[in-house]
A = this chain, B = another copy of it.
Amino acid sequence: MAQNIYDNDTFFEGYSRLPRSVEGLDGAPEWPTLRAMLPALDGRRVLDLGCGFGWFCRWARQNGAASVLGVDVSERMLARAKAESDDVAITYARADLEDFQAGSAAFDLAYSSLALHYIANLERLIARVHAALVPGGSLIFSVEHPLFTAPNHPGWSIDAAGHATWPVDSYLDEGPRSTDWLAKGVIKQHRTIATYVNLLRRSGFTLSHIEEWGPTAEQLTLHPEWANERERPSFLLVACSRAAQR
């Protein structure tokens, strides 16, 4: 089973205070970019892998989705998600994504925001997501960018003139990384961009678009404190689709 850090008291309290937890999707700086990569949702059956507080599940319903299944390992997050909505077309299920199985060809869209970098056996999960999608269905997800997860001691290096660089090491050495983020010893899996791309291809997905996210000029006028995030991207956003039936 994957580490369930979201049910850790310290982590949960810290996470609950992040802008993306308080303001929802609009509190996530990468959301406009990720949203632009989504297909039309009208009448679609949506799967949200690592749904957290359910912000995307509710948004998908508000934007025409026929039904949404939100899956998360965190009891606390699901409890809050359930309390936020009585929409009967949204179902929440507790499951460890390491072992997650869905029905066959049961969804038109699989979505995941910043969850897949916690998964050790990503190949198995992606194979199951492929099976759970209809032919022509889409998988759209974000993960922490490999440049963000690679270093053994991640952090900005600021020179005498105040210029920031992000020292990279161990980029090609994939595997778990332990960092102290909101709580001590949070385990994430570092993978290269090539590994994400080739794993999706091997699993039968066709890549349609990727983004290496950093703030836009417009976002920087509102949030000048994000300027360093242009030096190295924070998030990798991927859109791909299950090939239509032959």
Contacts and interface: CB of A to CB of B under 8 A. Distances in A.
A58 to B, nearest CB: 29
A165 B169 contact: yes
Interface in A202-219: 206-212, 214
B232 A210 contact: no
Contact of A157 (B167, B173, B207, B232): B167
Given A165-B168, A165-B169, A169-B232, A197 B192 contact: no
A194 interface: yes
A197 B172 contact: no
Contacts of A233: 171-172, 192
A168 B165 CA distance: 5
Contacts of A232: 168-169, 171-172
Interface in A153-188: 157, 163-173
Interface residues of A, number: 32
Residue among A168, A232, A233 with max Cβ neighbours from chain B (10 Å): A168
A90 interface: no
A230 interface: yes
A151 interface: yes
A96 B20 CA distance: 49
A212 B231 contact: no
Interface in A46-94: none
Contact of A198 (B169, B171, B198, B209): B209
Given A171-B231, A194-B210, A198-B209, 9 more contacts: A157-B167, A168-B231, A172-B231, A192-B233, A193-B193, A194-B212, A197-B197, A201-B208, A207-B207
14 contacts: A151-B165, A167-B168, A168-B232, A169-B232, A170-B231, A171-B212, A171-B214, A171-B232, A172-B231, A172-B232, A192-B212, A192-B233, A194-B212, A201-B209
